Amino acid sequence: MANIITTSGLCKQYGAAMGVKDLDLSVPEGVIYGFLGPNGAGKSTTMKMILGLAKPTRGTIIVFDKEVNRRNRLAILKETGSLIEAPSFYAHLTGKENLKIISTLKELPDSEIDRVLKFVRLEDQKNKKAGQYSLGMKQRLGLAGALLGNPRLLILDEPTNGLDPAGIQEIRELICSLPKSFGITVMVSSHLLSEIDQMAGHIGVISRGELVFQDRLSALHDRSESRIAIRTLDNIAAGSVLSSQGIAYQEQEGYLLIPKLNDNQLAGYFIRFLKEDIGVVRIEERKKTLEDIFLELTGMAVKL
């Protein structure tokens, strides 16, 4: 699968601080790429550099096999739609007129305007001035503008900002449908893992300007392996039984944590505990949630 966006060694310096540091992103074609990170991790800055809105301090960005620079800028932008930071709009113009400006500059037919208005469910409000829109409606307008002309690549920065729960669900489904229906590659950022989990096939996790994870989403799920937690009346004795069998364990809040074993093995240890007169009071299977992994990943970068 070819990459639609590749960055290598991408850096952005603000004053003395590095906003983005040595970022090597690869976004495959035809997927939804979730770009995840806490607030202020450098998501918007990275997206702005991909779009040419900000100039990298170091490193290169390749989009559609073309390097992002002054010469290729227009050719890349022709096939790209985007919504960065907050929606753009001319307050004294109606929603439809705002889209008309974009479609004129992108040389698209008027039918496109009606299509995207319907797509983001703004057709009833299209003749209202954008300045009077609610935050959610402005967001939909921005999304409609990005979708005009079915671009090859769509870059969306926190697209569900300001939407109500029903709206979030709706926009999420809409984004999910784009690769299949139109072959659009979507790069979408969020600070919420749950949101990315429901949309993306690939993810990149960024923390303090550094990429800490990048792969298929399923690879992240694989990391959420389960562990068995045991609580006994005598954890020290139980521990020595386990280590004598070569089982690594961790003690945590009165529990012994061991890797997930198959049922027969596990049952064998319990029989041994009973033989040694160690009373077993709790046995639990513990699964790390994606949130835990996310926190761990982003915490990892702090230590580095």
From 51, 63, 229, 238, residue interacting with another protein (rule: CB under 8 A): 51
Number of residues this chain uses to bind another protein (CB under 8 A): 32
| Interaction of residue 127 with another protein, rule CB under 8 A | no
Name which position in 2, 15, 16, 92 contacts another protein (CB under 8 A): 92
What is the residue whose two structure tokens read 């770009």?
A: 35
Measured between alpha carbons, how far is 284 from 247 in angstroms, rounded to an integer? 17
Q: From CA 203, how far away is CA 32, in angstroms rounded?
A: 8
Nearer Cβ to another protein (37/56): 56
Min. distance of Cβ 90 from another protein in angstroms? 6
- 148: its two tokens: 């005009």
The label of the residue with tokens 């990315």 reads 196
Binding span for another protein by CB under 8 A among 33-41, 77-85, 184-192, 258-266: 77-85
Binding of residue 70 to another protein (CB under 8 A): yes
Q: Quick check: 237 binds another protein (CB under 8 A)?
A: no
Which range, of 58-66, 94-102, 238-246, 261-269, touches another protein by CB under 8 A? Answer: 94-102
67 forms part of the interface with another protein (CB under 8 A):
no
Q: Interface with another protein includes 48 (CB under 8 A)? A: yes
And the tokens for 246?
Answer: 């070569």
Q: Is 52 in the site for another protein (CB under 8 A)?
A: yes
134 makes contact with another protein (CB under 8 A): no
Q: Quick check: 255 and 230 in contact, CB under 8 A?
A: yes
Q: Are 188 and 153 in contact (CB under 8 A)?
A: no
Binding residue (CB under 8 A) for another protein from 9, 60, 66, 101? 101
- The C-alpha atoms of residue 28 and residue 150 are separated, in whole angstroms, by 18
Stretch that binds another protein, among 60-68, 102-110, 118-126, 188-196 (CB under 8 A): 102-110
Cα dist from 120 to 38, 141, 192, whole Å = 27, 8, 22
Determine if 80 is a binding residue for another protein (CB under 8 A): yes
Half-sphere exposure of 153 (CA within 13 A, CB side): 23
Q: Could you tell me if residue 260 is left (phi over 0), alpha (psi between -120 and 50 degrees) or otherwise beta?
A: beta
CA 169 to chain centre: 16
Least CB distance from residue 157 to another protein, whole Å?
A: 9
DSSP H helices, 58-94, are 73-78
Under the binding rule (CB under 8 A), the answer on residue 42 touching another protein is no
The interface with another protein within residues 156-215 (CB under 8 A) comprises none
Report the nearest approach of another protein to the CB of residue 281 (Å). Answer: 56
**Dihedral sign (CA 3, 5, 8, 9):** negative
- Contact between 107 and another protein per CB under 8 A: yes
Comparison of 155 and 203: residue with beta carbon closer to another protein: 155
Tell whether residue 88 is a contact of another protein (CB under 8 A).
Answer: yes
- Please answer whether residues 28 and 203 qualify as being in contact, where contact means their C-beta atoms are separated by less than 8 angstroms: no
Closest CA to 114 of 147, 88, 139: 147
Under the rule (CB under 8 A), what is the footprint of another protein?
Answer: 48, 51-55, 70, 74-75, 77-78, 80, 82, 84-93, 97, 100-102, 104-107, 145
